[in-house]
Amino acid sequence: MSAPDLAVDLGRGLLLKTPVLAASGTYGYGLEYEGLADLAAVGAIVVKGLSPKPRAGNKPPRICETAAGMLNSIGLENPGVEAFLSETCPRLADLGATIVANVYGETEDDYVFVVERLSAPDAAAVAGLELNVSCPNVKAGGVAFGADPDVLGRLVARVRAATGKHLMVKLTPNVTDLAALARVAAAAGADSLSAVNTLLGLAIDLKTRRPKLGNVTGGLSGPAIKPVALRMAWQAARAVGIPVVGIGGIMTGEDALEYLCVGCRAVQVGTANFVDPRSPVRVAEEIKDWLEKNGTDLAAVIGSLRS
């Protein structure tokens, strides 16, 4: 049997070299990992979230370790979309990276502005867009865009109308009916879904009786959330006909294969990058080794869960 083909086509021009992407917020803007990993060998790099203008982020401490995971409350610090396009994007392209830009905003207009800039001729190197809909909508009393079906549908539809590029919507797990929201995003024009973002958590320092994060709460990630995230990815994949990219606690090739088994077409590796900068490449290599050992291919694994 020939070596398994790991390439994945998520549609609308987003071609992945492998089914393993580096998750937004865990790989910086890619350049931070230059010299530590072959960026051209990563399925795609989902860069840290971009906003219309530079943002300072939350007060420290911003990260703390937890049992089998970590909490973060970075506050979406970033240099703004213009700095990314002029300084970072060309260098990433020269290194052969496949670029997916994560987008967030406080209003619908913020999202549309960034998406339009990332869809302009000078952003041709950006292969796809990922919408972070876990951000609070300041015009709707701070409710996350991804938690309200009407708000989510309107946002995705507006962004869809603003770009011809692949549009991935990153679902929040902090809801009661993820499948319903997945269907809303798909109906509004999403090309794929990434599932899921971090779970809301809290850690306390008993010595000081204070939260370990400066912003009190933060997003929980890592192996601790894998069973929950895997269940939600399974629900999303069953609910829609578009590709789902699984996220949550993936440390090994076998972890990634479990997500493929429940119906995901690809995965994102996040917290593992803080332990091993080569994680996206290594996990892809482990997937390939497993497929060869078991005499099968990606297509045979995707959606193969037996009930």
For residue 98, what are the CA distances in angstroms to 47, 67, 114, 256? 10, 33, 19, 20
Catalytic hit among 64, 89, 135, 264: 135
Place of tokens 């910086």: 28
| 64 in active site | no
Distances (CA, A) of 90 to 93, 107, 206: 5, 28, 47
3-state secondary structure 122-187: HHCCEEEEEEECCCEEHHHCCEEHHHCHHHHHHHHHHHHHHCCCEEEEECCCCCCCHHHHHHHHHH
Q: Transcribe 200-267 into DSSP letters.
A: EEE-EETTTTEESSTTSEEEEESGGGHHHHHHHHHHHHHH-SS-EEEESS--SHHHHHHHHHTT-SEE
**CA 39, 42, 47 angle in degrees (round to 5)?**
75
Residues carrying an active site annotation: 135
